[in-house]
Structure 1
Amino acid sequence: MLARTVSRRLSQIRGLNQVGLFLTTASPSVLDGVGTGKMTMAPAHKTVRTFTSQCETVSGEPEIPIDKMVSSIYTHVNSCQPASFTEEEKKSKPLEPRTIRHSYRKFVIPLSTDNEKKKEYLSAMGNVRIGKILEDLDHMAVHVAYIHNSENGSLDGPMTLPRTIVTASVKRIDFHNEDINSSRDVIIDGQVTYAGTSSMQISIRLFQNDESGNLIHLLKADFIMVSRDPLDSNKKIRVHGLVARTPDEAETINQTKEHFKNMSDLADRQTTNEELRLIDNMYSNLISRNKVNDIPVLTPKEMWMHKTSLSVTEICFPEYQNMYGKIFGGFLMRKALELAYTNAKLYCKGRVAIRSMDHIEFAKPVEIGHVLHLNSLVTYTHGKYLQMKVVASISDQNNLSELAKANLPTLGQEAQIRTNVFNFTMESVENPNTLTVVPKHYIHASTYLEGRRLLNNTLKRIVN
């Protein structure tokens, strides 16, 4: 019965234009591994395929607009009745493993036919605002995660267990093409590629037709979602497992599982001897330029890191809330990206392009009424590439004493709580020879090394 229901629901979702819904080992030009961060774009004259080989071609149905996807999440969450489940059910109710195909969904952002929607997405340059796309990616990740854990394979039905699904982190977003045309529809698809006890990885892609009608791959993202008890956010709620029905699906699941097991945190790992020597040589060189004393001296082609700071502060209004009454994670990503982009553009004195987002952390929720502080820095530079970091923190005028306890007591009314960290790799398009950023303080030396790891990792993965 469940299989028939899932099949019937999937038949309502149209495949990508001229897209075969399968992936075989004979077509490595499409995807080289979901969840691995290794991907190549299919040639424009070839069809683009979905993540798995399990889905058959689907056609004949109209595209489903993204607004319906968003509204379905709110309806699904509002229909949840957590009090109707016993504690025993939460702990022991059998949860049938699901396939990757079960959660696959595709939607369209109708920019070619909806003028109001087009205005929402229009940037100052006349193309699509990437910040708005980030909001859609976050919604898509939540939608797919709820589909994976729904009773009948759609959000029209109930949850198998009462759950609140939130974004824990964004492992990576790689941009293959950020120049998204504001007059053509954008296609977004996604599916679950890993499921643990209470966590999931959702892999999402974005496409758009070019002027010749060929489908172009724009980006790929990996979101880490967690399932929590609606009555107690500190309690985990189990999610459905993931099983493979084809060799391709098995490879996808195993690769992602291996990445979860062995994922090395590039941002927080211990400083190596090679990195220590790098900082020591850097300061020896800076000091050697001064023939009078031991004060480091910069050249006209260098800039102190603390001089690159750019900040913005605003109050969190109800219009930014998600279905749980917290500030929407996609909104926070959008604000961080737009600040980092602005800072990078000022630093480079020209247009920049976004290449990747890494290690995006959602440590604490942001509430309505909080004062949101976003601070950005250029943390590392290499030729025409820049690594940007944005740290988000909150303060609350009604709870200053509580916030102060979490910080040093001497901070008093300046006490803030860090909620998010965002890392962006950008490319200077108009001025390839950017200033070299240099750390002046110890904490900035640590930030410099963190940025160096992230930028080098991006260059190896999607540039070189």
Structure 2
Amino acid sequence: MDSSSNFISVFSKLPSVFDNSSGVDGDRKPLNLWPGMYHSPVTIALWETRSKIFQRLLDPPLDAPPQTQLLTKTPSQSRTTILYNFSSDFILREQYRDTWNDVRIGKLLEDLDALAGTISVNHCSDDDSFTRPLRLVTASVDKIVLRKPIRVDVDLRIVGSVIWVGRSSIEVQLEVTQSTEGSLPPPDSSIALIANFIFVTRDSHTGEAALVNRLSPETGKEKLLFEEAEARNRARKRKREEDKMDYENQQLDGLQALLAEGRIFCDMPALADRNSILLRDTRLENSLICQPQQRNIHGRIFGGFLMHRAFDLAFSTAYAFAGTMPCFLEVDHVDFLRPVDVGDFLRFKSCVLYTELNDPKHPLINVEVVAHVTRPEIRSSEVSNTFYFTFTIPPEAKAIKDGFLIRNVVPSTEEEARRILERRDAKQLQLREHANT
């Protein structure tokens, strides 16, 4: 497949997935299986592309056999490019513009999730109308670092492809680039953001892990990306296989040190450090009933929507904590632990998990957001997603100039102390992995 065929140029006016003129037979699927109506134009365009893939397979019947012959594909066969025509399309620009005339990060996260999913579907497709397609589930999102602000008045380009596959898992890398050179491919120096999404494949009927098409890197860069992803996968496996008891013994001293200051707040608040604050006093929360307009093409709540809502709450949490407008730096990690369905009562709970104050002019605020699917009828609440974001305060902020100090966050319970230690250790491991690659 020629990579130039996977090019999507996005404008504000796109055909609706409900419009029969788009080439999709509206009678083929019930209404509740179509995606929601109010996603971004990029997400809608990507889902239309994905729907065409499924339609090309002629919607195999329920008893269709699974794919038996694995194909070998190259990264270029799944490579897809999106161009945001911000410079010429005012309506599109308004859909993505934030208060500071930059691109809304939460909305961009939605598009990244939709693009990664479409690329994965492309790689998993065997182009056989007599076999049933695989079901892909987002497992996690690796570190996403914002290298520079993304302007909303300059064309934006996202390029993504599969960079690694295992037996039943896929890693997709996306590069967001922006330059002032019009539609020409921007140089590496204009990369604004890189994101890695990890998917697992499941048999659409049995729900069991399913083998995925092989990947054959061709260029030197593709081979290097494959090796780096393979190293990250091995590191994830080692982390899962660690002896939990040994880990807890190693962390005992750290737990006690974290809890010592928290006990002063709880037992002797008048003597507590005025430059510290209890973790529980940084919390914010919101909730919603998941609506049909928020579903994806599989009828479940779109993962990008969840990331968008989590980012908005994390930003608000950092804002209320710092007393000045924060700057987003990175998504540390996202875990998708269980699917969220239409009609679910979803609660997002956030807190400042810890701060890093080594550089007073560039303090780091690490925010945790946990999403819970709550079922009052059966008195049940389960974690569906965990999100970790890092923000800072710009040196030119009035609060910094006035000598305002970002507070140290301390836990009041052992459970809070464990969360802080686990996240700190995971972040340090992540930094070492990226430094090695």
Q: Residue 338 of structure 1 aligns to a residue in which SS?
A: helix
Per the TM alignment, residue 280 of structure 1 is displaced from its structure 2 partner at its CA by 2.5
Q: Contact (CA 8 Å) 1:95, 1:239: kept in 2 or not?
A: yes
Deviation by residue 1:244-302 (Cα, 9 ceiling, x = unmatched): 33444333222211221222559x98546664323433444666899xx7779422211
The yes-or-no answer on 1:336 pairing with 2:336 is no
- In the alignment, structure 2 segments of 5+ residues that lack a partner are 10-40, 358-362
2:368 to 370, 381, 389: 389
SS in 2 for 1:236: coil
Q: Identify the range of structure 1 (452-461 vs 250-259) with the bigger mean alpha-carbon deviation.
A: 452-461
Q: Which residue of 2 aligns with 1:239?
A: 212
Residue type of the alignment partner of 1:395? T
Deviation at 1:424, TM superposition (A): 1.0
Q: Which moved more, 1:278-287 or 1:96-105?
A: 278-287
**1:338-381 residue CA offsets vs partner (Å, 9 max, x unmatched):** 10011001101112122221331111111111111000011111
1:116 Cα deviation after fit: 2.6
Partner of 1:176: 147
Is the contact made by 2:79 and 2:159 (CA closer than 8 Å) also made in structure 1? Answer: yes
Mapped partners of 1:218, 1:250: distance in 2: 23
Determine the C-alpha separation between the residues in 1 that align with 2:299 and 2:265: 56
Aligned partners of 1:138, 1:457: CA distance in 2, in Å?
Answer: 24
Partner of 2:351: 377
Structure-2 residue corresponding to 1:83: 61
The more displaced of 77-86 and 218-227 is: 77-86
Superimposed CA distance per residue, residues 153-184 of structure 1 (whole angstroms, 9 cap, x where no aligned partner) = xxxx869751222211112212112x221112
Contact 2:262 2:412 in 1 (8 A): no
Aligned equivalent of 1:307, options 272, 281, 286: 281
2:411 is aligned to 439
Q: 2:139 aligns to what SS in structure 1? A: strand
Q: Distance in 1 between matches of 2:389 and 2:418?
A: 17
* Residues 261, 231 of structure 1: alpha-carbon distance in 2 compared, 3 angstrom cutoff: same
- Kept in 2: contact 1:65–1:108 (CA 8 A): no
Is 2:82 the partner of 1:107?
yes
Q: Within 5 Å, give how 1:191-230 maps onto structure 2.
A: 191-210=161-180, 216-230=190-204
**Does 2:135 match 1:164?**
yes
Match of 1:26 in 2: none
Name the structure 2 match of 1:52: none
Structure 2 residue aligned with 1:138: 113
Instruction: Indicate conservation of the 8 Å contact 1:425/1:455, yes or no.
Output: no
- TM-score, scaled to structure 2: 0.78
Letter in 1 for 2:172: I
Name the residue aligned to 1:405.
none
Q: Which residue of structure 1 lines up, in the alignment, with residue 50 of structure 2?
A: 73
After superposition, the Cα gap between the structure-2 partners of 1:159 and 1:106, relative to the gap in structure 1 and judged at 3 Å, is: farther
SS in structure 1 of the partner of residue 342 of structure 2: coil
Q: 2:428 & 2:313 partners in 1: Cα distance?
A: 22
* CA–CA separation in structure 1 for the residues paired with 2:339 and 2:172: 20
Q: Which runs of 4+ in 1 moved over 6 A?
A: 211-214, 286-290, 293-296, 458-463
Structure 1 residue runs of 5 or longer lacking an equivalent are: 1-5, 17-63, 402-411
Aligned counterparts of 2:420 and 2:75: Cα–Cα separation in 1: 39
SS state at 1:83 partner: coil
Q: Please tell me whether the aligned partners of residues 287 and 297 of structure 1 are also in contact (alpha carbons under 8 angstroms).
A: no
Question: Would you say the 8 A contact 1:371–1:395 is kept in 2?
Answer: yes
> 2:294 pairs with 317, 320, 324, which one?
320
Would the aligned equivalents of 1:149 and 1:159 in 2 still touch at CA under 8 Å? no
Contact 1:387 1:454 in 2 (8 A): no
Alpha-carbon spacing, 1:188–1:289, altered in 2? closer, same or farther (3 Å): closer
Contact 2:134 2:203 in 1 (8 A): yes
Which one-letter code corresponds to 1:281 in the other structure? A
Give the stretch that moved more between structures: 314-323 or 276-285: 276-285
Q: CA deviation at 1:68?
A: 3.2
Structure 1 residues 78, 358: closer, same or farther in 2, change over 3 A? farther
User: C-alpha separation between the residues in 2 aligned to 1:140 and 1:283?
Assistant: 43
Distance 1:120 1:11, change over 3 A: closer
In the TM superposition, 1:117-156 aligns within 5 A as: 117-151=92-126
Aligned to 1:95: 70
Give the corresponding residue for 2:17.
Answer: none
Correspondence for 1:419:
384
Distance 1:160 1:243 in 2: 23
Question: What is the Cα deviation at residue 455 of structure 1?
Answer: 5.0
Structure 1: how far apart are the matches of 2:305 and 2:270?
Answer: 41
Query: Higher helix fraction: Structure 1 or Structure 2?
Result: 2
What is the CA deviation profile of residues 107-161 of structure 1, one whole-angstrom value per residue up to 9, with x for unaligned ones?
1122223333222212122221100100010011011111212346xxxx86975
SS of structure 2 residue aligned to 1:244? coil
CA displacement at 1:194 relative to structure 2: 0.9
Contact 2:111–2:304 (Cα < 8 Å) also in 1: yes
| CA–CA separation in structure 2 for the residues paired with 1:165 and 1:287 | 46
Structure 2 residue corresponding to 1:188, chosen from 138, 158, 161: 158
Pair 326,284 (structure 1): closer, same or farther in 2 beyond 3 Å: closer
Distance 2:270 2:202 in 1: 51
Task: Compute the TM-score of the two structures, normalised by the length of structure 1.
Answer: 0.74
Q: Aligned Cα RMSD in Å?
A: 3.2
Give SS of 1:278's match.
Answer: helix
Q: Are the equivalent residues in 2 in contact too, given 1:173–1:219 (CA < 8 A)?
A: yes
Separation (CA, whole Å) in 2 of partners of 1:332 and 1:159:
34
Is this contact kept in 2: 1:82–1:231, CA < 8 A? no
